[in-house]
């Protein structure tokens, strides 16, 4: 593929709800542009962008993919992104790297939560937005209904640019409202047709786009209100200016499956979407925190942003980068702004799905992949040594579903950890910790499918098999009342014996573990044995007497005892202390404490009743509600962490994916008495397994 300068490059992310047809649309665009010679299908696992084994198996995109094409002497870098909420990482990556966004909407199912989320993220990142209403060939496809939904949801800035004219057999033709021309399709080829009798919907669409164009430019506004009609050139100018300033969201339509409207979509991208030169200017920070303007100019010092990483145990690491200024080539060794270290560049590659093409240099505005960067991670900035700046990171959603990993083969825990850490390079949303208390390896992600894919990749890429299990809860134990008990250890077996005798008062206190004190009079226990008594108790509180969980909030005061001048030893007093613990704690009203989390849930107003009802079932306490803007409420509460295992799935179901939450550990509270037996039984069952 030949080199292009930034004004002849368009970086486009295809986003939207799952099953809207994004991957099929990318395939149709590549095929119409001649970038591929065979039209693949998602259901056959033959598309260019869904090449990962997990994608072909599931028939759904699980990560973003890049595929460039050439159209009308312009390079278009397509970034195909997943629509499933479990794989939102790919959407965040794609929108961050793109200059503009095309939100794909099904003509049958219309606007839904995936559409809303994609639009909000694109607007938050100040990207130009165009809608493509796909599946016009489907039964019950209704473009004008979908257009109404888009305008109702996103405002008057949504304006039709290409509209269908339907007959009894489906779409008769499409009308380009800008050029005022009709076109039809035969075997995917676009042909200009005669203008049909215009329906009232088409007339209304012309008025809508004229109003939107007028809003984009003051001179056009004056002409519109004076009753003038815009020329084609004025319409193009108004649309381009409106896209650049985020005042217009044009709507085009077609069918990826039948290749209808694809040529018109490509024309719209080239003719109207901002070029990389206009869309890629960013502000970074230098080492002192000062703002630095990064201009998309080949003559500027090189700056490149890493927006995606692929880790492969055989091929090595592949870093996808967008060159924002200057020229990326093997001639320079760039500085990684995060580490401050120099990176040695591997091969530069143009990627089309899984197909790779070596390239010697990549100019500002373009996208490529770089092989085998040793220290570079997703979100890093690579810079010319003469100007080191840090750019805004992707800003991923938080992982909310946690599962425990259990190795199918004993001894594989180390290999599992190594493999997961490599996969986290690909997907920074994933988190992985080794819980020191429960001894479990905990994997967190965005949902069931997300974690399932991680487990599957762990097997195929690194040869380790694991099962996902419900994570254990880190309970604690404490006491309710004060007791005084004796611990006496005496053993005689030829020669020196063992003797230790202590009286200890146990009582509740406010501490994270053991608070030890001594109040001994008259030397009944020599001071040199005090540390041994404390050590014996510290060892004991690691396991409570009810279910074996660590003991907290315990004050132990050594008040009396006795010793033998020959047989007493540190070990004897340590043993005596443990005997006192075992005798005293069961008398002190032992109880189990459960971890309580502070929960903040963000949902649209209409779902607050359902959420509060669900939290009540989970033994939660609602602390309050706060308006959060855009019709969203923040519900704050406290809830037992043991009840939150499946809340990610439940919240998504109750809110159709519109809700989100943050849960953080707050404190421990007494477990209700009727639940203690179950926790104790579960603990004993785990001990028997081990």
Query: Which range (219-223, 236-240, 247-251) has the least confidence?
Result: 219-223
In the chain, which residues fall in CATH 3.30.230.10? 477-588
pLDDT confidence bin for 200, thresholds 50/70/90: confident
The per-residue pLDDT for 280 is: 63
The domain made up of 401-469 has a fold known as Alpha-Beta Plaits (3.30.70)
Residue 10 tokens, joined: 């368009």
Q: What is the pLDDT of residues 138-172, one digit of tens each?
A: 989 999 999 999 999 999 999 999 999 987 778 88
Q: What percent of the chain has pLDDT over 90?
A: 75
- For residues 34-40, give the mean pLDDT: 94
DSSP characters over 596-660: EEEEEEEEEGGGHHHHHHHHHHTT-EEEEEEEEETTEEEEEEEEEGGG-TTHHHHHHHHHTT--E
Taken as a whole, the chain contains a residue count of: 690
- For residues 528-540, give the mean pLDDT: 94
Query: How much helix, strand and coil, in percent to the nearest 5, is found in the chain?
Result: 30, 35, 35
Strand partners of residue 433: 442
The per-residue pLDDT for 314 is: 67
Q: What is the pLDDT of residues 282-326, one digit of tens each?
A: 899 988 889 999 999 999 999 999 999 998 766 678 999 999 999
Considering the four listed CATH numbers 3.30.110.60, 3.20.20.100, 3.30.230.10, 1.10.3470.10, the one that applies to the domain covering 477-588 is: 3.30.230.10
Query: Domain spanning 592-681 has what CATH number?
Result: 3.30.70.240
How far is Cα 392 from Cα 413, in angstroms, rounded to an integer?
Answer: 35
Query: Which range (222-236, 247-261, 422-436, 536-550) has the least confidence?
Result: 222-236
Asked whether the predicted pLDDT for residue 529 surpasses 70, the reply is yes
Cα-to-chain-centroid distance, residue 280: 23
In the chain, which residues fall in CATH 2.40.30.10? 282-383
The per-residue pLDDT for 495 is: 64
The per-residue pLDDT for 690 is: 60
Residue 539 tokens, joined: 């060892």
Asked whether the predicted pLDDT for residue 536 surpasses 80, the reply is yes
Strand partners of residue 556: 506, 516
The per-residue pLDDT for 43 is: 92
The per-residue pLDDT for 631 is: 84
Asked whether the predicted pLDDT for residue 220 surpasses 90, the reply is no
Q: What is the pLDDT of residues 552-588, one digit of tens each?
A: 999 999 999 988 887 888 899 999 999 999 999 999 9
The domain made up of 282-383 has a fold known as Elongation Factor Tu (Ef-tu); domain 3 (2.40.30)
Indicate the average pLDDT of the chain: 92
The per-residue pLDDT for 516 is: 94
The per-residue pLDDT for 197 is: 75
- Closest among 416, 414, 390, 395 to 405, alpha carbons compared: 416
The per-residue pLDDT for 565 is: 84
In the chain, which residues fall in CATH 3.30.70.870? 401-469
Residue 451 tokens, joined: 């974690």
pLDDT confidence bin for 216, thresholds 50/70/90: confident
Q: Does domain 6-276 have CATH number 3.40.50.1820?
A: no
Asked whether the predicted pLDDT for residue 468 surpasses 80, the reply is yes
Asked whether the predicted pLDDT for residue 97 surpasses 70, the reply is yes
Q: Does pTM top 0.75 for this prediction?
A: yes
pLDDT confidence bin for 55, thresholds 50/70/90: very high
In the chain, which residues fall in CATH 3.30.70.240? 592-681
The per-residue pLDDT for 650 is: 95
The per-residue pLDDT for 101 is: 98
In the chain, which residues fall in CATH 3.40.50.300? 6-276
Give 289-319 as a 3 state SS string: CCEEEECCCCCCCCEEEEEEEEEECCCEEEE
């Amino acid at each position: 593929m030949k080199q292009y300068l930034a004004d002849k490059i368009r970086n486009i992310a295809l986003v939207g709800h799952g099953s809207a047809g994004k991957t099929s649309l990318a395939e149709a665009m590549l095929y119409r542009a001649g970038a591929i010679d065979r039209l693949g299908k998602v259901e056959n696992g033959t598309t260019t962008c869904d090449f990962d084994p997990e994608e072909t198996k599931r028939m759904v995109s699980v990560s973003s993919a890049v595929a460039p094409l050439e159209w009308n002497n312009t390079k278009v870098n397509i970034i195909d992104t997943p629509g499933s909420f479990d794989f939102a990482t790919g959407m965040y990556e794609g929108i961050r790297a793109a200059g503009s966004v095309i939100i794909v909407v099904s003509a049958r199912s219309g606007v839904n939560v995936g559409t809303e989320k994609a639009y909000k993220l694109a607007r938050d990142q100040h990207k130009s937005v165009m809608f493509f209403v796909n599946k016009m060939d489907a039964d019950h496809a209704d473009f004008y209904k979908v257009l109404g939904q888009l305008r109702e949801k996103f405002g008057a800035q949504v304006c039709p640019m290409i509209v269908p004219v339907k007959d009894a057999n489906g779409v008769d033709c499409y009308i380009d409202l800008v050029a005022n021309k009709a076109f039809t399709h035969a075997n995917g080829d676009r042909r200009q047709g005669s203008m049909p009798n215009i329906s009232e919907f088409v007339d209304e669409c012309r008025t809508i786009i004229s109003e939107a164009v007028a809003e984009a430019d003051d001179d056009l506004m004056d002409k519109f209100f004076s009753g003038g009609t815009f020329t084609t050139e004025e319409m193009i100018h108004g649309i381009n200016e409106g896209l650049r300033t985020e005042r217009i969201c044009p709507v085009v339509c077609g069918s990826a499956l039948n290749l209808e409207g694809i040529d018109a979509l490509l024309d719209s991208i080239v003719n109207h979407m901002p070029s990389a030169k206009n869309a890629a200017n960013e502000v970074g920070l230098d080492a002192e925190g000062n703002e630095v303007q990064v201009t998309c100019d080949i003559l500027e010092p090189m700056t490149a942003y890493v927006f995606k990483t692929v880790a492969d145990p055989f091929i090595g690491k592949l870093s996808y980068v967008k060159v924002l200024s200057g020229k990326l080539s093997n001639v320079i060794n760039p500085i990684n702004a995060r580490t401050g270290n120099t990176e040695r560049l591997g091969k530069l590659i143009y990627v089309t799905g899984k197909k790779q093409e070596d390239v010697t240099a990549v100019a500002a505005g373009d996208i490529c992949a770089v092989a085998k960067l040793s220290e570079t991670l997703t979100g890093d900035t690579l810079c010319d040594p003469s100007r080191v700046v840090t750019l805004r990171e992707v800003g991923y959603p938080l992982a909310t579903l946690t599962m425990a990993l259990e190795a199918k083969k004993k001894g594989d825990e180390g290999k599992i950890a190594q493999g997961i850490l490599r996969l986290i390079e690909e997907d920074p949303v994933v988190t992985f910790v080794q819980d020191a208390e429960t001894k479990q390896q905990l994997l967190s992600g965005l949902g069931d499918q997300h974690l399932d894919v991680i487990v599957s990749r762990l097997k195929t890429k690194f040869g380790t098999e694991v099962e996902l299990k419900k994570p254990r809860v880190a309970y604690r134990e404490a006491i309710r009342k004060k007791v005084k008990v004796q611990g006496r250890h005496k053993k005689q077996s030829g020669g020196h014996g063992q003797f230790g005798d202590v009286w200890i008062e146990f009582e509740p206190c406010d501490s994270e573990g053991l608070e030890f004190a001594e109040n001994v009079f008259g030397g009944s226990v020599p001071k040199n044995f005090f540390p041994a008594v404390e050590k014996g108790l510290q060892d004991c509180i690691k396991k409570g007497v009810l279910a074996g969980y660590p003991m907290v909030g315990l004050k132990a005061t050594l008040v009396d005892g006795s010793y033998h001048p020959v047989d007493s030893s540190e070990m004897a007093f340590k043993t005596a202390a443990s005997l006192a613990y075992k005798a005293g704690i069961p008398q002190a009203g032992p109880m189990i404490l459960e971890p309580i989390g502070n929960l903040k849930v963000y949902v649209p107003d209409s779902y607050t009743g359902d959420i509060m009802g669900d939290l009540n079932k989970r033994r939660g306490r609602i602390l309050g509600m706060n308006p959060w803007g855009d019709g969203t409420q923040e519900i704050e509460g406290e809830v037992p962490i043991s009840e939150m295992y499946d809340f990610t799935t439940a919240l998504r179901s109750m809110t159709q994916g519109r809700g989100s939450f943050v849960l953080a550990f707050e404190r421990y509270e007494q477990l209700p008495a009727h639940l203690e037996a179950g926790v104790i039984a579960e603990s004993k069952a785990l001990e028997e397994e081990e």
